Structure 1
Amino acid sequence: MNEARPTLVIVEDDPAFARTLQRSFERRDYAVRHAASPEELAMLLQQTGFDYAVVDLKLGKASGLTCVQMLHAHDPAMKIVVLTGFASIATAVEAIKLGAAHYLAKPANSDDIEEAFGRDRGDPNVPLDSRKSSIKTVEWEYIHSTLAECDFNISEAARRLGMHRRTLARKLEKRQLR
């Protein structure tokens, strides 16, 4: 009874969070590898393939969406879950279009991630929020979609949004999720 362990790659630039996730999944009998950047992920994919992937949306100055695209191109059957502290509708839609199976806002734990791996279809019974989006939420989603388009380059996003770079940086500091 020597079944192969499921393989998982964690693409996360926060070493402490990556280590915590790695240990948790190793206790669940996954064979886990870690990459902190799109470049490290590309090197790992040259060596091996994976059954599952957990990708942070913001990897320093790089976008995790690049990694989602790379992983999906490498193996379209791979289950990819995107984690983010900067959740927005725009990035969720792009992540799914690029091949992610699910998109989870941080904080998410290994139970949430493993549950997302196991879900093959959408849930038509998910509760619909009848509350309208606030102006602040709409503004945040617009800012975040512009940031994603600019690969999280704050100066370029500020230029496209028509605001001063420091103003944008202050807005991002206020909405940062941990």
Structure 2
Amino acid sequence: MKRLLIVEDDLSLASILGRRLTRHGFECRLTHDASTALLVAREFCPSHILLDMKLAQVNGLSLIVPLRNLLPKVTMVLLTGYASIATAVEAIRLGADNYLAKPVDTQTLLAALEMDGHTHMLQKDDVDDSPLNPKRLEWEHIQQVLNANQGNVSVTARQLGMHRRTLQRKLLKKPVGESGYLK
């Protein structure tokens, strides 16, 4: 049986994730703060870890290295409601195997957890050290919110606080390079 440690400070979300993933063959343990995460990981010896990026006053990124040192072969997925390219890159650099934005559906979560340590949605070798273009960051964030809303432009525009037509114009322009957008 696959053993999953869920480190999530939102108690109801942690319970929901635990129930969902138990139905898919995981033996789940929950912890709700950074201080007990390492202790539970040491005792439980999980094969998989689902780690929230924002844990009350602590950043979940700070747990990646100690967890990776403790369990070098664990499959670790960072889950966040504050997704950005910069934090995705940092999570992969620190040793996370995958990075997902909340809300996440069960199939996407299972796919991320089932990846072996050699396959990442964002490959470590793909990480670029060049500064990120703000237009590119905005475009990536829009894509992520749009994906979370199953392509619904109206709902995405409301969530992002912009007019629907403005969002549609932004979606037509993918930023490349340092110069800005490429039509």
Match of 1:83 among 79, 84, 87: 79
Q: Is the contact between residue 99 and residue 121 of structure 2 (CA under 8 Å) also seen in structure 1?
A: no
Deviation, 1:41, is 0.5
For 1:66, the equivalent position in structure 2 comes to: 62
Change (3 A) 1:94 1:28: same
Q: Please tell me whether the aligned partners of residues 52 and 78 of structure 2 are also in contact (alpha carbons under 8 angstroms).
A: yes
Deviation at 1:122, TM superposition (A): 4.3
Match of 2:41 in 1: 45
Moved over 6 A (4+): none
Q: 1:60 to 1:114 in 2, by over 3 A?
A: same
For these two proteins, the number of residue pairs brought into alignment is 130
Equivalent residue for 1:54?
A: 50
Matches within 5 A, 1:148-163: none
Query: Relative CO higher for 1 or 2, CA cutoff 8 Å, sep ≥ 6?
Result: 1
- What displacement does 1:136 show? 7.9
1:23 maps to 19
Q: Is the 8 A contact 2:4 2:28 kept in 1?
A: yes
Q: Distance in 2 between matches of 1:44 and 1:29?
A: 20
AA matched with 1:134 = K
RMSD between superposed Cα atoms in Å: 2.5
Q: What do residues 38-66 of structure 1 show as CA deviations (whole Å, max 9, x unaligned)?
A: 11102212312110011111111101112
Describe the shift of the 1:97–1:23 C-alpha distance in structure 2 as closer, same or farther (beyond 3 A).
same
Q: For residues 67-122 of structure 1, what are the alpha-carbon distances to aligned partners after superposition, in whole Å with 9 as ceiling and x for unaligned?
A: 22222111111000111110111111111111111101111123211101223424
3-state secondary structure, aligned to 1:94: helix
Cα distance in 1 between the residues matched to 2:81 and 2:121: 23
The one-letter code of the counterpart of 1:106 is K
Q: TM-score, normalised by structure 1?
A: 0.65
Aligned pair in 2 of structure 1 residues 54, 102: CA closer, same or farther (>3 Å)? same
Q: Are the structure 2 counterparts of residues 87 and 77 from structure 1 closer, same or farther at C-alpha, using a change threshold of 3 Å? A: same
**8 Å Cα contact 1:38-1:66 kept in structure 2:** no
Q: What's the TM-score, normalizing by structure 2?
A: 0.64
Separation in 2, partners of 1:8, 1:84: 17
Q: Counterparts of 1:9-20 in structure 2 under 5 Å? A: 9-20=5-16
Unaligned 5+ residue runs, structure 1?
Answer: 125-131, 141-173
**Structure 2 gap ranges (5+):** 123-132, 142-158, 161-183
Letter in 1 for 2:58: A
Contact 1:56–1:83 (8 Å) recurs in 2:
yes
User: For 1:13, what is the secondary structure of its paired residue?
Assistant: coil
